[in-house]
Structure 1
Amino acid sequence: SNPDIVEFKKSLDAVFDVIKKLRPMPHLYVYYVTTGIVGSDFLDEKRKAACARLSETNFFSEVDFELIGATELRDLYKGTQRQHEAHFTMEKKFTLPKMPGIEQAYSGVLRATDIVEMVTDQEGNVIKSLFFDNVRDFQGMNPVNRSIGDTIQTESRRQLFAVLNNGITMVTRRLDNAGDDFYMSDFQVVNGCQTCHVLAAFRNYLDERTYVNLRVIESKDEDAISAITEATNRQTAVSDDDLKTREEYQKDLEDMFNSFDGDEKLYFERRSQQYGSMSIEQTRIVNRNQLISAFAAMFLGEQHRAGRYTKKIREDRKEDLFTQQQDPLLYYTAAYALYRLEWLFRNGRIDRRYKIARYQLLAGMRVAIDGRNMDLPRGNRYSQRYCEAYLRILHRQADAERFFGELELLLDATVNANDPSRVLTRDLVKSVSFSDEFLARVARSDKWHRN
């Protein structure tokens, strides 16, 4: 034991020497923390056994043993980054009855000016992190949002805002109130992102007669929060894909993409229009469909369907997509391979006539580096070594250009193998037999140093 542990043990011994004087007995909290995954039955059995042994000492009134893995660490960290506070007065309200997972909840109306103050910073900008758990980012001034803006700008309708708009739902980790005065901290807007942004955009038209429907819910139960988010958004035109943005793995992906900088940087669009208001190179933004196409082509053998049949791939291969056993780095690698290939096409480094076979080229890269083995590595350590072989090439433009240039030659050879007059067409790249023939040719080539 290091000196700190030795001193800590002496302190514990001193306390427990007078155990009879302790009333009540101490409550023990134990945390097992790892950057890996903690969802295994084996680890949970070990946790239960440790709890039982500690409880049998009769030194503690309660024993809480919590497993903290990579997902839990990320959520705890994000919680420290978005602990926003708000004070407001809500005179017109009623208390909702007690519900499982909900500490307390209120529904009422609040002045629109107070809402704007809650969701903007000192410079008047909307605080983006308040909408992290919202299923969609601000969609811009689309027809629905323009209509909300028109209502605010029209004096006679502005006073009817509370009955013309569905309102806003906020979930907070802490809610205190004294009469009509409320204080909340660590809160999120889980429904009403569009309304908040439009109110902020037209704040100069708001007056004390403009009210907004508001529900404030205090909960620390993640299952309850997820259910609230899904239920409130079912009432609006939100797709199933948008609702899936709350899945933990989607947040892991977003964090993985955000861990890169400079030319290695890509942006995973977890929520629709997430980066719409930011000055970002559009070619670096990867939406879910693009990510599925790249990953399925490169690592699932779906290169012949990746160009047009993303929805079908999602349905047929749903057990192989976005699973907790897959390191998010695999998805970043596939997305960057597609980005690099598109960059080479766009800048004339590769003849654009090969663009219709870009997903075959992605699959060709996997076979060139890793052979015909379709098994993906499990565990972050193995995945990182696996992906490094790809990223060493992809992150260097000259190396990527040479690599895909070699694959182009093999693609041409496959096209002309049996018929010199045959040309590369969309119908040809959708053929399973053509893809198999191309990948077999890549596998036979001695140009590659494989893992």
Structure 2
Amino acid sequence: MSKTLLLDTVLREYASELDMNFEKEKDQVFEVFAAEQLLKNKDLDDIEIKNGLIGGSLDNGIDGLFVFIDDECINSIDQINILKKAKNIEIHIHQYKNTTKIDENVIHKFNTVASSIFDLDTEYSEEYWNKDLLEKIEWLNQIFIKTAASHPKYKVYFRHICKGDRSNIYNDENPNLSYIDKVKVIEKTLENCDLDNIDFDFDLIGRKELGQMNRVEKQFSLALKLNENPIALDYSEDGKRGYIASANLIDYYNFLSDSKGNLRNYLFDSNIRDFQNSTAVNKEISKTIKEEKKIDFWWLNNGVTIIADAGSLTGKTLNLDNIQIVNGLQTSYSIYNTIHELNRESDNRSLLLKIIITNRNDETGDKIIKSTNSQNHVPTSLLRATDSIQRDIEDYFLANDYFYDRRKNYYKNLKKPMKKIVSINFLAQCLTSIVISEKNPSKARSNPTILTKEDADYNELFNERRDLKVYLNSAKIVKKVEKIIKEQTFENEDLTEEQLKKYYLFHISRIAMSIEFGIPNYGEEKIKDVDIEKIDKIKIDKSIKVLKEILELYEKEKGHIDLVNISKQTEFSKFITANFLKCVSRV
């Protein structure tokens, strides 16, 4: 039996869930799968995972580069531009090898990259460095500069991922000293880099480790140990009830921690998880935990609100299903971080808890999230998922056998088919590209996380007067185009074709719809009534040819163009609309 048979079976099923062709995209499937497993505790969505993957040529041995600042995944320069302070910065550098061979050259490349990207004086040439990688290196440089005054702690994770047997390198009887010594060289390189307070972490992940990671499930059903029997308040006949309770700080810390001591990030409502309103508040909470031992913690703190689908009390332990912590983010993070830092095993102080048992599929949970956080000055942009239009879209998708993840990874965590899941960011990209009056695929491609930040943009994308079928069809159209593009092969495929497939999904979708309707700018009623079954390889092939004509014309007018940068410029979206008829006539 093949040594990789079990893992390959998992990968084949995973490819089917993603609507990927396993035979043609084995390496890509392996990369996405490995990245998801290694960063499972970060609760990333599909867009965040794809954004972290480099792919293509000239990657200099980096297939994945993920950056987290105080547990927030950095996806764009916009997040860095507003950055003022940082406490912890994590940099995850991955190289994926879809082979059983454990290639020591991977370690050599890691060292070369480490000596470059952690040296702020390094000059890079696009002739030798992948454009996506250069962009992320520029982000890192900006992060290093902007956070220097706050003296953050850096931790750099190097991961060599393959299908090999880790024990061939790391074993007591006959360790591979050549490989291990090369790893030590990377560590030495980091010690001598421009950054202070930097930790190095390396690991080789083989087929056994990937299998073990895949079997680890996120636990949304947990037991919360309470100090005393809670006050139970029944309110309605349909199972809703609430509890007022308190828990020991250490017991609450254990509730927040997984078996390896990592914070269960996914327990926090995703819409408010990354809201760090005031580092001063966090410092005060941490100071209270560390120093105010003569005063009980709950006297000084408003406590935490938890909602769950179901709950049962056994003695002084409350067993909860489908848990979400919807208020008390800073309190919870501070308790976890401080106790973790102090490695404290006992503390007789308590935390106040408000626990509400409600069906997450009705409006009660959304109202609780919105109400409890509006009292804490959380920006409305972070509470979008609680809007009635978002619930209406979710219900319409469900009725049509699709799953709208207005709450990050909600349906993914419920093991729904990933190819049927549409995130709020992806839907915003689709609407921006092919639905709204000023179609802007470049903006959609540039940074999906900012598309709903401003009220004006959000209200245009999620208009309550819009037919709900438009939302579903826009997502189905782009998904259909994406599937066709993945299977598309070009004669003598070169870097241009590779870049078109990677960076121009939304542009091709936008052009395809104009070809379908015969006009450069169409109304959204066309999207509502479009026959998606008619979108086929022939039409997408024509759309790509039109795109090439438009790019050629753009280059004649502007001079030499960079395909990666152009894909993110609003000016190019306007150019598509203005020159569509001229270019489509040439194809």
TM range (shorter): 0.5 to 0.7
| Alpha-carbon separation, structure 1, partners of 2:281 and 2:496 | 42
Determine whether 1:410 maps to 2:550.
yes
| Alpha-carbon separation, structure 1, partners of 2:232 and 2:433 | 52
**1:319 aligns to what SS in structure 2?**
coil
Deviation (angstroms), 1:214: 0.5
Q: Which residue of 2 aligns with 1:52?
A: none
Q: Which residue of 1 aligns with 2:225?
A: 88
Q: Deviations over 1:161-199 (max 9, x none)?
A: 324433211123333447x72433314232234433443
Q: Which residue of 1 aligns with 2:496?
A: 349
Asked whether the 8 Å contact 1:327–1:378 carries over to 2, the reply is no
**Shift in alpha-carbon separation, 1:82–1:337, aligned structure 2, 3 A:** same
**Shift in alpha-carbon separation, 1:439–1:163, aligned structure 2, 3 A:** farther
Q: Deviations over 1:290-328 (max 9, x none)?
A: 853553232334136974995434334532798642464
**Shift in alpha-carbon separation, 1:410–1:150, aligned structure 2, 3 A:** same
**Shift in alpha-carbon separation, 1:386–1:226, aligned structure 2, 3 A:** farther
Q: Which residue of 2 aligns with 1:208?
A: 347
Residue among 112, 119, 124 paired with 2:249: 112
Note the residue ranges of structure 1 that are not aligned, 5 or more in a row: 1-79, 261-266, 273-285, 342-346, 394-398
Bigger mean CA deviation after superposition, 403-412 or 234-243: 403-412
Residue among 134, 137, 143 paired with 2:273: 137
Q: Which residue of 2 aligns with 1:127?
A: 264
Asked whether the 8 Å contact 2:442–2:570 carries over to 1, the reply is no
**1:325 aligns to what SS in structure 2?**
helix
Asked whether the 8 Å contact 1:168–1:195 carries over to 2, the reply is yes
Determine whether 1:225 maps to 2:365.
yes
Pairs within 5 Å for 1:145-184:
146-147=282-283, 150-151=286-287, 154-156=290-292, 159=295, 161-177=297-313, 181-184=316-319
Q: Aligned AA for 2:347?
A: E
Q: Which residue of 2 aligns with 1:376?
A: 527
Residue among 271, 296, 299 paired with 2:435: 299
Q: Which residue of 2 aligns with 1:366?
A: 513
Asked whether the 8 Å contact 1:291–1:334 carries over to 2, the reply is no
- Higher RCO (C-alpha 8 Å, min separation 6): 1
| Alpha-carbon separation, structure 2, partners of 1:317 and 1:213 | 39
Q: Deviations over 1:126-163 (max 9, x none)?
A: 334533x5533355897267526632662227955324
Asked whether the 8 Å contact 1:136–1:271 carries over to 2, the reply is no
| Alpha-carbon separation, structure 1, partners of 2:248 and 2:239 | 25
Q: Which residue of 2 aligns with 1:46?
A: none
Equivalent pairs counted in the alignment come to 322
| Alpha-carbon separation, structure 1, partners of 2:576 and 2:263 | 49
**1:135 aligns to what SS in structure 2?**
coil
| Alpha-carbon separation, structure 2, partners of 1:124 and 1:253 | 39
| Alpha-carbon separation, structure 1, partners of 2:357 and 2:226 | 16
**1:217 aligns to what SS in structure 2?**
strand
Q: Which residue of 2 aligns with 1:437?
A: 578
Note the residue ranges of structure 2 that are not aligned, 5 or more in a row: 1-216, 410-421, 445-449, 487-493
Deviation (angstroms), 1:81: 8.3
**2:359 aligns to what SS in structure 1?**
coil
